[in-house]
Structure 1
Amino acid sequence: MLGNFTYCNPTKLYFGEQALDRLSGELENYGPQVLLVYGGGSIKRNGLYVEITAILKQSGKKITELPGVMPNPTVDKLYEGMELARKKKIDFILAVGGGSVIDYAKALSVSVHCESDPWERYYLKMRRINNPVIPVGVVLTMVGTGSEMNGGAVITNTQTKLKIGRVFGESVFPKFAIMNPKMTYTLPQYQMVAGFYDIMSHILEQYFSGTDDNTSDYVMEGLLKSLIHSSLAAIEKPQDYEARSNIMWIATWALNTFVAKGKSTDWMVHMLGQAVGAYTDATHGMTLAAVSMPYYRCIMKDGLPKFKRYAVQVWNVDTQGKSDEQIAAEGLTAMEAYMKKLGLVLHLGELGVTEAMLSGIVKGTFILNGGYRKLTPEEVENILRESM
């Protein structure tokens, strides 16, 4: 384990088929003015909206609705929410949806009382929070991001073509998350499998980094094996409760800061995927899938011992008579075959990326140094071209 660290996660989780029954008890802790944030209206079609609004009313809450949060929430939508929340003097934000809705709610929570432009202060300049934060609660309807138990909030500026993730501290973590796996059953398969890969990518961003014998790496290998097994079961039978419940739990633990402790982390796949998303508005998990294989093949030799370990421990690659490089490469081939079986997008062209966009995507890619090698802009361009 590397360095010194502090671990604290203030989010309370309610998990299972009766999880929503716990919402009314949590609402007692917050003021009367509630902002109900949700996306495109699926919660109205599946009946969840009626259940939640009934609970809010029975709890004596005054409901202000903010629908229409898009899959890649924009800074313009953030400004809209700020104006509404200020006007209604909102005490509490209830986010009902997946990662985009939850990310948006957290970004809004720190922005409402910000006296300057929150995009500039919190995203471009990455300044500390210097204003009150509105508490957020979550009812989770889509898994993948882990946003229900962390301080991350990704926002897109469509004018400047920048998609930036900000990881805020404990004050921005949701106060609670309601997690009923059955609420994810109605999700279209494309979105479901994109979420599966988002989970895998979160784990790999933290796994493919560092060289010490870290406890977290053993935990992540277990999470990966469970995810692979459960995701394959879920695409065969989407309403397999055991599979969907395991996936929901894995997603939360993949990105609630636990497995990152005591080690370096990479996050270049996310930087590449977010830059693509800023230009295409493509589904986040699919942008990650499209750039992952070229990126990992680019850095494999730099992190060869870990890539070999990944091949053996996660994909059960037979090592006999093979070099370390052959073993590692075979592990990535097994991973690619799994991705194809899920139906993931493996080429950027399928997401609408064109040759004319590449230079802008390269410029919009934040290059980090937590992985096995810090990329050059030329390498970023090569990875993108290999993914086309």
Structure 2
Amino acid sequence: MLGNFEYCNPTKLYFGDESLKYLRDELKNYGSRVLLVYGGGSIKKNGIYDEVIQILNESHKEIAEVSGVMPNPTLEKLYEGVNIARDNEIDFILAVGGGSVCDYAKAVSVSVHCDEDPWQKYYLQGEEPTCKIVPVGCILTMVGTGSEMNGGAVITNHETKLKIGHVFGEEVMPKFSILNPQYTLTLPHYQMVAGFYDIMNHICEQYFSGTDDNTSDYISEGLMKSLIHSSRIAMKNPNDYEARSNIMWTATWALNTLVAKGKTTDWMVHMLGQAVGAYTDATHGMTLSAVSLAYYRYIMPYGLDKFVRFATHVWDINPNGKTKEDIALEGLSAMENWMKELGLVMNITDLGVNENMIEGLADSTLIMNGGYKVLERDEIIQIFKDSL
């Protein structure tokens, strides 16, 4: 392990099929005015909404609501939530949904008492909150983002064609999150497998950096192998509780900052995917699957030893009699086969991108360092072309 770091994750987790009962105890720690945030209405169809409302009423909470939070929360929706929170003098925000709803709740939490424009302050200038932060709790209904145990909040600005994430500090992380795997069983197949790949890519983005013998990499390899194993079970039987619970737990640990420790991390696949998402509003996990193989094959020569390790440790590729390049490529082919097995989107054309959009996508792609290769603009263009 190289470098120096500190580690603190203040989010308290309640996990299991009876975990919602702990909401009552948590609500005692916050004020009486609660903003309930949720998505398109699926929680009303599956009964989760009624369960949560009952607990809020029994806890004598005054409830305001923001519904219709979309998979890629927009700046306009953020402004709407901030105004509702201000009008109702909200004490606490309860997010019920997937990662986008949790992201959105955190973005609202840092904006309610902020006199500055949140897009300028947090997303364009990358500043940290200097105002009072409204506490957030999460009830997770879809796995993938890890937003239930981190400070990340991604917002899309359609006007400028930018989708930007801000990772806030521990003061913005959810105070608690309730993880009931049963709540994920009704997800449509498309959303389920998109979440699976989001998890995988979160781990890869942290794994493909650094060259030291790092404990975080061993943890990452175990998480990836668990995900691959459980995803195949879930593909055959989406209602397999054991598989879905393992996937839910893996998703949380994939992006709660643990496996990033001692790592420089490489988030370029997310930057490429988020540019696609800003243009198409495509499902986040699918934007990642559509660009990741082209990216990893491009940077593989710059981090060859780690790609060899990925092939042998995660995909069980036999290295005997093969060059490092052959082993590494065989590992990426194994991942590609697994992705196709899941039914992921494998190119950006299927998400609505055409060659005329490539220049604009490149302009919307933030360039990150920390990986094995810092990309130039022409390289980004080539990767997008290879992803068509």
Q: Name the counterpart of 2:187.
A: 187
Where 1:159 maps in the other structure, the secondary structure is coil
Q: Name the counterpart of 1:300.
A: 300
Q: Report the number of matched residues.
A: 388
Determine the C-alpha separation between the residues in 1 that align with 2:35 and 2:263: 38
Aligned residue runs from structure 1 range 98-137, under 5 A:
98-137=98-137
Deviation at 1:325, TM superposition (A): 0.7
Q: Name the counterpart of 2:351.
A: 351
Q: Name the counterpart of 2:286.
A: 286
Q: Name the counterpart of 1:203.
A: 203
Where 2:339 maps in the other structure, the secondary structure is helix
Determine the C-alpha separation between the residues in 2 that align with 1:241 and 1:370: 37
> What is the identity, as a one-letter code, of the residue corresponding to 1:363?
D
Q: Name the counterpart of 1:65.
A: 65
Determine the C-alpha separation between the residues in 2 that align with 1:72 and 1:41: 16
State whether structure 2 residue 244 is matched by structure 1 residue 239. no
State whether structure 2 residue 163 is matched by structure 1 residue 163. yes
Where do 4+ consecutive residues of structure 1 move more than 3 Å?
none
Q: Name the counterpart of 1:3.
A: 3
> What is the identity, as a one-letter code, of the residue corresponding to 2:196?
F
> What is the identity, as a one-letter code, of the residue corresponding to 2:87?
K
The superposition leaves residues 247-293 of structure 1 with CA deviations (integer Å, 9 ceiling, x where unpaired) of: 00000000000010111100000000000100000000000000000
Determine the C-alpha separation between the residues in 2 that align with 1:368 and 1:142: 28
Q: Name the counterpart of 2:327.
A: 327
Q: Name the counterpart of 2:153.
A: 153
Q: Name the counterpart of 1:225.
A: 225
Q: Name the counterpart of 1:43.
A: 43
Where 1:172 maps in the other structure, the secondary structure is coil
Determine the C-alpha separation between the residues in 2 that align with 1:105 and 1:160: 22
Q: Name the counterpart of 2:56.
A: 56
> What is the identity, as a one-letter code, of the residue corresponding to 2:158?
T
Q: Name the counterpart of 2:277.
A: 277
Determine the C-alpha separation between the residues in 1 that align with 2:301 and 2:339: 22
Alignment TM-score, normalising by the size of structure 2: 1.00
Determine the C-alpha separation between the residues in 2 that align with 1:357 and 1:101: 29
Determine the C-alpha separation between the residues in 1 that align with 2:263 and 2:338: 27
> What is the identity, as a one-letter code, of the residue corresponding to 2:350?
E
Alignment TM-score, normalising by the size of structure 1: 1.00
Q: Which runs of 5+ in 2 are unaligned?
A: none
> What is the identity, as a one-letter code, of the residue corresponding to 2:290?
A
Where 2:311 maps in the other structure, the secondary structure is helix
Deviation at 1:177, TM superposition (A): 0.4
Determine the C-alpha separation between the residues in 2 that align with 1:99 and 1:184: 12
> What is the identity, as a one-letter code, of the residue corresponding to 2:273?
G
Deviation at 1:7, TM superposition (A): 0.2
The superposition leaves residues 179-223 of structure 1 with CA deviations (integer Å, 9 ceiling, x where unpaired) of: 000000110000000000000000000000000000000000000
Determine the C-alpha separation between the residues in 2 that align with 1:80 and 1:352: 28
Q: Name the counterpart of 1:341.
A: 341
Determine the C-alpha separation between the residues in 2 that align with 1:94 and 1:202: 25
Determine the C-alpha separation between the residues in 1 that align with 2:296 and 2:118: 34
Deviation at 1:129, TM superposition (A): 1.0
Deviation at 1:354, TM superposition (A): 1.6
Determine the C-alpha separation between the residues in 1 that align with 2:83 and 2:263: 40
